[in-house]
Chains A and B, each alone.
Chain A
Amino acid sequence: MLTQREILSTLEMLKNENLDVRTVTLGINLLDCASHDPEILKSKIHGRISHFARNLVSVCDQIGQKYGIPVVNKRIAVSPIAVVGASMSSSQLVEVAHVLDGVAAEVDVDFIGGFTALVEKGIARGDRALIEAIPHALASTERVCASVNVASTKAGINMDAILLMGKAIKKAADLTAKTDGIACAKLCVFANIPQDIPFMAGAYLGIGEADAVINVGVSGPGVVKKAIDRALESDSELDLGQISELIKKTAYKVTRVGELIGQEVANHLNIQFGVVDLSLAPTPNVGDSVGEIFQSLGLLSIGVPGTTAALALINDAVKKGGAFASSRVGGLSGAFIPVSEDLNISEAARSGHIGLEKLEAITAVCSVGLDMIALPGDTTEDTLAAIIADEMAIGVINNKTTATRLIPVPGKNAGDNAYFGGLLGQSTIIPVNNGRNLNPFVRHGGLIPAPIQSLTN
């Protein structure tokens, strides 16, 4: 018999605290679709994805209804297209992106990730073609997401790839100038990219994965915030150790929901269950914000001194709760700080409480990186590359994932507003130090060597 408290607290999380399954992401292996003939390649990709994904949305909706918890997004992640289409030219890869976009619409998923290249140590022919194809592919599709891994702790930082990405971001923004450079919102640059992220835009299916796999992304910043608020209301003397314990327990509950839903979807579709990624992933709605958690912890706003320590506490507690709740935890599992997607962080950027430098600092302790940051349109490709290089260095040296999703908004300046719409939100454009100039440092190119693993001070 369940207790009243168990039932009512669960209902409260679901109904008033925005606990949901943010995404069920079906990973589909496309490696054996490879062909020298672009038509065969495209037809095989289309066939493979529709075969595995045709019931994804209906099954997710049915299971969401059974448990009274919405599965907000259904998505697909595929093998890195730079590998699948390694023999294709850049324009042929744009056509592959169109096939991905089309089949995503047919099976009714909102995003399909995996327009991806892994170039942390070197750039192969197919990788170069894919990076070249990214701007056109993203500008001419709605649902395709791209990611490029340019660095890893084992391989170092590929500065040649980073410079190419600076150019690609700039071009993607220019091609979608009318919509504030929205193509860049679908493009992530990574260090130490995990193979099983369910969240977009970084989701792809790793080379070491099975034919098909279900990964689940659970969110719940609102649940964590309300739990902190309630606890402090009943005892304002709680210390940070006790608050950490509270976040851990809350993360446990949220992760359990993800595992339950993921396992059941996987069973229904007869596909292997992969991981739960418990990440505090905000949406631009009140009560679904990571930024608000900082205020509950007593900070004026995210960005003021104390932010890094608070985020370290939150991120670690989330990981510990998640790891205890499920032995299949993966992906990013931590706190996201996407500026435009979080009403509160976006407001902190507008009011000047947080800038690029502090955002970069806190990525050392959060689960991702410089995410959904609108920059002035005249930011040079050199500066974009340099920002990426800085962010990659944080990931490589600290043995963690970092990423950037930067949007140089064409024709707009620092202080202007950029509007991306829907889940992508809106944000004030953040100023960049020395943003308009060339940067000879990044133009040296080459590989920054992998870091030493001893003398860790």
Chain B
Amino acid sequence: MNKVILSILGHDRPGIVAAVSKVLFEQNCNIENVSQTTLQSEFAGIFIVSMPGSLSAQSLHQSLNAQMATLGLEVHVRSLKPPPATEFIPECESYIITTKGPDRKGLVAGISDVIARFQGNITNLQAVFKGGAEPGDNIMIYEVDLPSQTDQQALYRKLKSRAKELKLEIDIQHRNIFEAINRI
């Protein structure tokens, strides 16, 4: 059993998931994981699929392309290799970093640069930009896994100073407080 990861991108409309899954079913593939989202009017979906040994990634790509092109969607397919056994994943804690401030270019680049320098892995990023100068209308929410050994004080200082340069209010909080307050 081989695995592939495929992504579908294009203008959102009813029937996209139905069309993709129909092709996969016909090709005797099994969907293991799916994540999909829509941003403004655009659809993006990622599927991890296991497929029979007789099928190649290339021929699956061709079958999907034949169907998706009619819907105006782009398809990308790639064979999935298991991660190398030597890959070291440090123990992490989850934090939520929230910024508010007037919309301008370079906000995500500025903040994510600091996160990357501290080996933080952004696991989810939501940005709500309505534009304009009202801080509450322009919010970014980063969910970040930080290695437990991270120098918290240094990270806080760096994020705060970067936020100041970008004229952003910034908050950094451990994820547990959001879980505790909102979930039973």
- Interface pair A257/B128, CB less than 8 Å apart: no
Bound Cα distance A15, B128 (Å):
19
Assess A11 versus B98: contact at CB under 8 Å? Given A4-B141, A253-B181.
Answer: yes
- Interface pair A253/B182, CB less than 8 Å apart: yes
Shortest beta-carbon distance from B175 to chain A in Å = 7
Bound Cα distance A400, B124 (Å):
49
- Interface pair B180/A2, CB less than 8 Å apart: no
Assess A1 versus B173: contact at CB under 8 Å? Given A65-B156, A66-B152.
Answer: no
B64 contacts the other chain (CB 8 A): no
Contact of B178 among A7, A15, A66, A259 (CB under 8 A): A7
B78 contacts the other chain (CB 8 A): no
Assess A4 versus B126: contact at CB under 8 Å? Given A66-B152, A66-B174, A68-B172.
Answer: yes
- Interface pair A69/B180, CB less than 8 Å apart: no
Bound Cα distance A249, B174 (Å):
22
Chain B count of residues within 8 A CB distance of the other chain = 23
B139 contacts the other chain (CB 8 A): yes
Bound Cα distance A253, B179 (Å):
10
Query: Which residues of A sit under 8 angstroms from B74, Cβ to Cβ?
Result: none
Query: Which residues of B sit under 8 angstroms from A67, Cβ to Cβ?
Result: 173-174, 176-177
- Enumerate 28 A-B pairs (CB-CB under 8 Å) in ascending A order: A1-B124, A2-B96, A2-B143, A2-B178, A2-B179, A2-B182, A4-B126, A6-B181, A6-B182, A7-B98, A7-B178, A8-B98, A9-B182, A10-B181, A10-B182, A11-B171, A13-B181, A65-B152, A67-B174, A68-B172, A68-B177, A69-B173, A69-B177, A253-B182, A256-B180, A257-B181, A260-B177, A260-B180
Shortest beta-carbon distance from A182 to chain B in Å = 36
Q: Which residue of chain B has the shortest Cβ distance to A324 in the bound complex?
A: B184
Which A residues fall within an 8 A CB radius of B? Answer: 1-2, 4, 6-11, 13, 15, 65-69, 253, 256-257, 259-260
- Interface pair A256/B181, CB less than 8 Å apart: yes
Shortest beta-carbon distance from A101 to chain B in Å = 32
- Interface pair B178/A6, CB less than 8 Å apart: yes
Shortest beta-carbon distance from A273 to chain B in Å = 14
A-B contact number at CB 8 A: 57
Bound Cα distance A2, B171 (Å):
16
Contact of B139 among A6, A8, A253 (CB under 8 A): A8
Q: Which residue of chain B has the shortest Cβ distance to A69 in the bound complex?
A: B177
Shortest beta-carbon distance from A219 to chain B in Å = 15
Among B152, B171, B183, residue most surrounded by chain A Cβ atoms (within 10 Å): B171
Shortest beta-carbon distance from A1 to chain B in Å = 5
Among B172, B178, B181, residue most surrounded by chain A Cβ atoms (within 10 Å): B181
Shortest beta-carbon distance from B172 to chain A in Å = 7
Q: Which residue of chain A has the shortest Cβ distance to B175 in the bound complex?
A: A2
Query: Which residues of A sit under 8 angstroms from B128, Cβ to Cβ?
Result: 4
- Interface pair A257/B156, CB less than 8 Å apart: no
Contact of A257 among B96, B124, B180, B183 (CB under 8 A): B180
Bound Cα distance A175, B98 (Å):
51
Bound Cα distance A440, B143 (Å):
69
Q: Which residue of chain A has the shortest Cβ distance to B126 in the bound complex?
A: A4
Bound Cα distance A130, B182 (Å):
46
- Interface pair A10/B177, CB less than 8 Å apart: yes
Query: Which residues of B sit under 8 angstroms from A259, Cβ to Cβ?
Result: 180
Shortest beta-carbon distance from B94 to chain A in Å = 10
Query: Which residues of B sit under 8 angstroms from A10, Cβ to Cβ?
Result: 177-178, 181-182
Q: Which residue of chain B has the shortest Cβ distance to A66 in the bound complex?
A: B174
Query: Which residues of A sit under 8 angstroms from B156, Cβ to Cβ?
Result: 65
Query: Which residues of A sit under 8 angstroms from B139, Cβ to Cβ?
Result: 4, 8
Bound Cα distance A456, B156 (Å):
59
Assess A1 versus B181: contact at CB under 8 Å? Given A65-B156, A67-B176.
Answer: no
Shortest beta-carbon distance from A326 to chain B in Å = 10
Shortest beta-carbon distance from B104 to chain A in Å = 21
Bound Cα distance A68, B173 (Å):
5
- Interface pair A66/B173, CB less than 8 Å apart: yes
Query: Which residues of B sit under 8 angstroms from A4, Cβ to Cβ?
Result: 126, 128, 139, 141
Shortest beta-carbon distance from B159 to chain A in Å = 12
